[in-house]
Chain A
Amino acid sequence: MYHFDWTIFWQYLLPWTALANPLIRNGLIATVVVSVVAQVLGVIFGLFAALGKMSKIPPLRWIADGYIWYFRGTPLLVQMVLLYFGLGVTHIYDFPDIHVGFLLITGAIQAGTLALAINEGAYMSEIVRAGIEAIDPGQMEAAKSLGMTTGLAMRRIVLPQAAKVIVPPLGNEFNNMMKTTSLMEVISAGELFFGFTQINARIFKPFELFIAASMYYLLLTTIWTIIQARIEGSLGERKGIERGPSMVRRLFSFGGGKGAR
């Protein structure tokens, strides 16, 4: 029978002992930072892809269609490996380590973040497009009848309204993003899961360590769910969005979306 090593389990589960280990401490920081950066970039890519897809100019539509088709139709893991090793081996971009002040951003982190962002952009584009299309066309007409160009009307009238529609699915995307960063383990980017696999390679306690690792992800997504409910609540109060599901429902019945890509 397997002997469950409680000492190891508690050591790597409880933050005050686990975070003393730089692999876990830095990994946790990297996971959060990469998630935020990749999500922000993903929203920007998604916005451009959505506008491209709705453009009157055919080549812009083709580029947007091709981007969405490829990055939603192939596995993120493959995209990430392709980007990191493919660009490296061809010397298109070698992903050198970058020092930003006291921060060291490794090539693997750059490649992983970029792959996550590009992939996320393809999914966000559909969310942004749905948000824009949810706005009554009368809004664009009214803006144009006041002498606004399409671009100005988009910026001032349509997008601010679409943003409110986009917030709830965007929150869910970020929840997924934090979990999906664990794929970066395969390119040895120093995020949270990589930290745990490194420790496992040394002490070989996979059951104990990976339960502890999963608990850190659960902690992150739970904190985010609470923050998300607050954001949607305050948006709803001010601008008339329907109240979202209760906290209990959020925690125990979310998913239903894409899951692992």
Chain B
Amino acid sequence: MVFDPISPTSPSNDRIVVQAEKVNKYFGSLHVLKDIDMTVSRNEVVVVIGPSGSGKSTLLRCINHIEKINSGRISVNGRLIGYYEKNGRLVEDSERNIAQHRAEIGMVFQRFNLFPHLTALENIIEAPTNVRKIPRDEAVTDAKRLLERVGLLEKSDKYPNQLSGGQQQRIAIARALAMKPSLMLFDEPTSALDPEMIGEVLDVMNELAHEITMIVVSHEMGFARAAANRIIFIDEGRIIEDTTPDYLFSNPREERTKVFLSKILH
């Protein structure tokens, strides 16, 4: 096979789902992300850890352009997110294009953010029918399959406030999957849950791992050990370590990684 480094469809580029280069993000005068470089390949599971306020959630939210970056560039599936390039400068993309791009990226939130005025099933079919314009029956069939997959088919007509936290989060995962994303972002998916409900959500995530590219901000080290290909440790807006779970747990390079790990591993 002839390797062509220039062509954007060359096999090596094709496997890259997320590429962040020199990303900086400020909230006012607060510098939250500092020169972040990161590459995530297809079907990789990357777990991001770090102290609170370190910028890990912000990084995730920049990847689907819910937060705008101040400099650098982020591409998802080979295309810049939120911007396009014109005469060597980045110009903010149209809302429609950004929305279309976001549709390829599923996101699961700490507080679930299910739509409270819609049933579980309606939550799942809302975006497929209104964004992708899929016929309702087809969307319902898909949604039922997803509900079955997360083990909640019998809850399809319940409203979010009739479900437990763990059930809500599993519906939220199904809702994101209904758009058939190529990348899933999980923003502390279990930290708002009662301890006895964490397992059911991690089980669903474990099953998804390696079927789909995942970036997971979480301190669930059991999940990281079992499912992650890589762990990224962020502190004060910088990537401090980017390595395999085994390596990170056995011999962290930096002193602050050790300190942090000793805190979350008890």
Query: Interface residues, chain A, CB within 8 Å of chain B?
Result: 136, 138-139, 141-150, 152, 156-157, 160-161, 164, 239-240
Q: Which of B99, B103, B126, B131 has the most CB atoms of chain A within a 10 A radius of its CB?
A: B99
Given the known inter-chain contacts A152-B130, A156-B130, A240-B161, please indicate yes or no for A145 contacting B107, CB distance below 8 A: yes
B108 to chain A: closest residue by CB = A145
From 79 to 120 in chain B, residues with beta carbon under 8 angstroms from any chain A beta carbon are: 95-96, 99-100, 102-107, 109, 111, 113-117
Among A145, A146, A164, contact of B126 (Cβ-Cβ < 8 Å)? A146
Shortest beta-carbon distance from A146 to chain B in Å: 4
From 146 to 180 in chain B, residues with beta carbon under 8 angstroms from any chain A beta carbon are: 161, 172, 175-176, 179
Q: Is B218 an interface residue (CB 8 A)?
A: no
Shortest beta-carbon distance from A235 to chain B in Å: 11
Among B109, B113, B131, contact of A152 (Cβ-Cβ < 8 Å)? B131
A-B contact pairs, 13 of them (CB 8 A): A136-B113, A139-B113, A141-B109, A141-B113, A142-B115, A143-B127, A146-B102, A146-B127, A147-B102, A147-B104, A147-B131, A148-B131, A161-B117
- Bound-state CA distance A144–B99 (Å) is 7
Which chain A residues border B105 with CB–CB below 8 Å? 145
Q: Is B66 an interface residue (CB 8 A)?
A: yes
- Bound-state CA distance A178–B140 (Å) is 46
Q: Are B117 and A160 in contact (CB under 8 A)?
A: yes
Among A144, A149, A152, A164, contact of B66 (Cβ-Cβ < 8 Å)? A144
Q: Is B77 an interface residue (CB 8 A)?
A: no
B162 to chain A: closest residue by CB = A240
Q: Which of B106, B109, B126 has the most CB atoms of chain A within a 10 A radius of its CB?
A: B126
Query: Interface residues, chain B, CB within 8 Å of chain A?
Result: 64, 66, 95-96, 99-100, 102-107, 109, 111, 113-117, 126-127, 130-132, 161, 172, 175-176, 179
B95 to chain A: closest residue by CB = A149
Q: Are B115 and A149 in contact (CB under 8 A)?
A: no
Which chain A residues border B130 with CB–CB below 8 Å? 148, 152, 156
Which chain A residues border B64 with CB–CB below 8 Å? 145
Q: Are B117 and A146 in contact (CB under 8 A)?
A: no
B178 to chain A: closest residue by CB = A146
B175 to chain A: closest residue by CB = A146
A149 to chain B: closest residue by CB = B99
Which chain A residues border B176 with CB–CB below 8 Å? 145-146
Given the known inter-chain contacts A146-B176, A149-B95, please indicate yes or no for A139 contacting B115, CB distance below 8 A: yes
Shortest beta-carbon distance from B139 to chain A in Å: 13
Q: Are A147 and B111 in contact (CB under 8 A)?
A: no
- Bound-state CA distance A150–B96 (Å) is 9
Shortest beta-carbon distance from A76 to chain B in Å: 35
Q: Are B109 and A146 in contact (CB under 8 A)?
A: no
Shortest beta-carbon distance from A244 to chain B in Å: 19
B132 to chain A: closest residue by CB = A147
Which chain A residues border B109 with CB–CB below 8 Å? 138, 141-142
A150 to chain B: closest residue by CB = B95
Q: Are B117 and A145 in contact (CB under 8 A)?
A: no
Which chain B residues border A157 with CB–CB below 8 Å? 115, 126
A161 to chain B: closest residue by CB = B117
Among A138, A146, A160, contact of B131 (Cβ-Cβ < 8 Å)? A146
Q: Are B96 and A149 in contact (CB under 8 A)?
A: yes
Which chain A residues border B99 with CB–CB below 8 Å? 144, 147-149
Pairs of residues from A and B, 3 with the lowest C-beta to C-beta distance, nearest first: A147-B103, A146-B127, A142-B113
Among A141, A145, A149, contact of B106 (Cβ-Cβ < 8 Å)? A145
Which chain B residues border A149 with CB–CB below 8 Å? 95-96, 99
Shortest beta-carbon distance from A135 to chain B in Å: 10
Q: Are A148 and B115 in contact (CB under 8 A)?
A: no
Shortest beta-carbon distance from A33 to chain B in Å: 32
- Bound-state CA distance A239–B14 (Å) is 47
Shortest beta-carbon distance from A161 to chain B in Å: 5
Which chain B residues border A144 with CB–CB below 8 Å? 66, 99, 102
Which chain A residues border B172 with CB–CB below 8 Å? 142
B94 to chain A: closest residue by CB = A149
Q: Are B116 and A161 in contact (CB under 8 A)?
A: yes
- Bound-state CA distance A161–B123 (Å) is 14
Which chain B residues border A136 with CB–CB below 8 Å? 111, 113
Q: Are A138 and B102 in contact (CB under 8 A)?
A: no
Which chain A residues border B106 with CB–CB below 8 Å? 145
Among B96, B117, B131, contact of A239 (Cβ-Cβ < 8 Å)? B117
- Bound-state CA distance A89–B107 (Å) is 60
